[in-house]
Amino acid sequence: ETAEKAGCESFMLKEIHEQADAVAETIADRVADRDRIDLGDLGAIDDAFLRAARRVVVVACGTSYHAGLIGRYAIERWARVPVEMDIASEYRYRDPVVGPGDLVIGISQSGETADTLAAMRLARARGAKVLAIVNVMGSQATRDADGVLFTRAGLEIGVAATKTFVAQVAAMYLLALRLAELRGTLEPARLSELIGELKLIPHRIAALLERGDAEIRAIAARHRDARFFLYLGRHVGLPVALEGALKLKEISYSATDAYAAGEMKHGPIALLDEATPVVCVATDAPVLYKLISNVQEVRARGAHVIAVATEGNGEIGAHADDVIRVPATDWMLAPLLAIVPLQLLAYHVARLRGLDVDQPRNLAKTVTVE
Residues with active-site annotation: 365
Asked if 121 is part of the footprint of ligand G6P (rule: CB under 6 A), the reply reads no
Q: Amino acid identity of 243?
A: E
Nearer to ligand G6P, 277 or 360 (CB): 360
Binding residue for ligand G6P, selected from 116, 276, 283, 343, defined by CB under 6 A: 116
Site mask for ligand G6P (CB under 6 A), range 91-110, x = bound: -----------------xxx
Residue selected from 10, 19, 113, 252 as contacting ligand G6P according to rule CB under 6 A: 113
Contact with ligand G6P (CB under 6 A) among 62, 68, 233, 237: 62
Name the one range near ligand G6P by CB under 6 A: 171-179, 191-199, 223-231, 361-369: 361-369
**If you ran DSSP here, which 8-state letter would residue 78 be given?**
I
Nearer to ligand G6P among residue 159 and residue 261 (C-beta) = 159
Backbone angles phi, psi at 32, to 5 degrees: -60, -40
Q: What number of residues does the chain have? A: 370
Rule CB under 6 A: is residue 61 a binding residue for ligand G6P?
yes
Instruction: Please count the residues of this chain forming the interface with ligand G6P, following the rule CB under 6 A.
Output: 15
Alpha helices, DSSP H, located in 152-211:
163-183, 188-210
Which helix H or strand E contains 67, and what residues bound it? Answer: helix 62-74
To the nearest 10°, report the CA torsion of 317, 220, 67, 253. -140
Q: Which of 64, 140, 252, 310 binds ligand G6P (CB under 6 A)?
A: 64
First to last CA, the chain: 31
Min dist. Cβ of residue 237 to ligand G6P (A): 20
Q: Name the residue number minimizing CB distance to ligand G6P.
A: 62
Does residue 186 sit in helix, strand or coil? coil
Residue type, 322: D
Considering the complex, what minimum distance in angstroms separates the CB of residue 161 from ligand G6P?
Answer: 4
> Is 32 a binder of ligand G6P (CB under 6 A)?
no
363 binds ligand G6P (CB under 6 A): yes
Query: How far apart are CB 349 and ligand G6P at their closest, in Å?
Result: 18
d(CA 23, CA 254): 29
Of residues 365, 36, 43, 314, the one with CA closest to residue 179? 36
218 Cβ contact list (under 8 Å, min separation 6)? none
Q: Residue 53, SS3? A: coil
Q: How far is CA 71 from CA 66, 88, 180, 183, in A?
A: 9, 16, 13, 17
Smallest gap from Cβ 109 to ligand G6P, in A, equals 4
Of residues 89, 185, 192, 366, which one binds ligand G6P by CB under 6 A?
A: 366
Give the closest residue to 175 by CA, choosing from 154, 196, 194, 149.
149
- With residues binned 3-state (H G I as helix, E B as strand, rest as coil), the percentages for the chain, rounded to 5, are 50, 15, 35
| Site map (CB under 6 A) of ligand G6P, residues 155-174, x = contact | ----x-x-------------
Q: Is 256 in the site for ligand G6P (CB under 6 A)?
A: no
**Interaction of residue 142 with ligand G6P, rule CB under 6 A:** no
Question: Is residue 63 a contact point for ligand G6P (CB under 6 A)?
Answer: yes
Which stretch in 56-64, 189-197, 215-223, 326-334 sits in contact with ligand G6P by CB under 6 A? 56-64
Cβ closer to ligand G6P: 116 or 252?
116
Q: Identify each DSSP E strand in the chain by its residue range.
A: 55-60, 83-87, 102-108, 129-134, 147-150, 228-233, 255-260, 277-282, 304-310, 322-326
Q: Is 96 helix (H, G, I), strand (E, B) or coil?
A: coil
- For ligand G6P, which is the closer residue by CB, 61 or 174? 61
Q: Where on the chain is the footprint of ligand G6P (CB under 6 A)?
A: 61-64, 108-110, 113, 116, 159, 161, 363, 365-367
